[in-house]
């Protein structure tokens, strides 16, 4: 890290686009923000279909919260928690992916956005820059996605080496594998990977 150079580290994205336009690099100046997986040149579902050996992703069942079959999906890796588009289930209501069950190759859907809300998270692979500033304080902010709202929380260390995050307000669409990052004002305190939530 001590050898790393970040020549644009002090610039905003807006200013970088302006500089690109001033230098005639219009394609870079007008390029839309990436909303997907950064290393995929396409939609991640297309990427998976072309890179995962045939037969490893197979169709399975969409189930409602009561366990009733609602339809068939293309394979659980193609669905994310909170997703509502592209499910291919036609009912007179909006459905959301609530949970994926990899071992059973099933996707649980619900019609109530509140059913996606979680109050707690367990994090693994975590790193806190200074544990004293992050642990056991009620004024820590956690974010799980760039565009997701900032939530106040209290972070504690568990006996099994995980971080327990108690959310002060429910947070929707929390999914295992997502990063959770802690802040106080503009200062990054650390973060980890979501293992479980409830």
Burial 63-72 (b: 16+ CB within 10 A, else e): bbeeeeebee
Nearest residue to 190 (alpha-carbon basis) of 143, 138, 120, 139: 143
Task: Tell me: do 96 and 69 sit in the same domain.
Answer: yes
Note the pLDDT tens digit of each residue in 75-109.
Answer: 999 998 999 988 989 888 999 999 999 999 999 99
The pLDDT of residue 6: 84
The 10 Å Cβ neighbour count of residue 88 is 10
Task: Tell me: do 129 and 102 sit in the same domain.
Answer: no
Task: Tell me: do 153 and 179 sit in the same domain.
Answer: yes
- Range 17-31 average pLDDT: 93
CATH code at position 55: 2.30.30.280
Nearest residue to 37 (alpha-carbon basis) of 84, 78, 85, 82: 78
- Range 55-82 average pLDDT: 94
Task: Tell me: do 68 and 128 sit in the same domain.
Answer: no
Q: Which residues pair with 163 in a beta bridge?
A: 123, 157
Q: Domain range spanning residue 160? A: 116-197
- Range 43-57 average pLDDT: 87
Q: In whole angstroms, what is the distance from residue 174 CA to residue 169 CA?
A: 13
* DSSP symbols for 23-87: TT-HHHHHPPPP-S-TT-SS-HHHHHHHHSPTTSS--EEEE-TTS-EEEEES-GGG--TT--SS-
**Longest pairwise C-alpha distance within the chain:** 58
Task: Tell me: do 124 and 183 sit in the same domain.
Answer: yes
Q: Which two tokens stand for residue 118?
A: 């979680």
Q: In whole angstroms, what is the distance from residue 194 CA to residue 129 CA?
A: 18
pLDDT band per the 50, 70, 90 thresholds, residue 35? low
pTM summary value: 0.73
Is 35 a member of any domain?
A: no
Q: What is the dihedral of CA 97, 100, 105, 108, to 10 degrees?
A: -40
């Amino acid at each position: 890290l001590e050898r790393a150079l970040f020549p644009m580290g002090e610039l905003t994205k807006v200013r970088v686009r302006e500089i690109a336009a001033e230098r005639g690099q219009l394609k870079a100046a007008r390029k839309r923000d990436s909303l997907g997986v950064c290393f995929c040149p396409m939609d991640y579902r297309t990427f998976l279909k072309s890179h995962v050996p045939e037969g490893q992703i197979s169709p399975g069942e969409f189930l409602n919260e009561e366990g009733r079959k609602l339809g068939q999906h293309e394979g659980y890796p193609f669905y994310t928690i909170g997703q509502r588009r592209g499910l291919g289930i036609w009912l007179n209501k909006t459905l959301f992916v609530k949970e994926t069950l990899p071992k059973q190759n099933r996707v649980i859907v619900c019609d109530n956005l509140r059913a996606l809300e979680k109050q707690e998270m367990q994090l693994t692979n975590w790193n806190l820059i200074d544990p004293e500033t992050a642990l056991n304080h009620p004024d820590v902010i956690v974010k799980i996605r760039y565009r997701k709202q900032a939530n106040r929380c209290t972070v504690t260390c568990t006996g099994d080496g995980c971080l327990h995050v108690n959310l002060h307000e429910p947070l929707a669409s929390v999914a295992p594998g997502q990063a959770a990052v802690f802040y106080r004002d503009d200062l990054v305190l650390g973060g980890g990977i979501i293992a479980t939530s409830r």
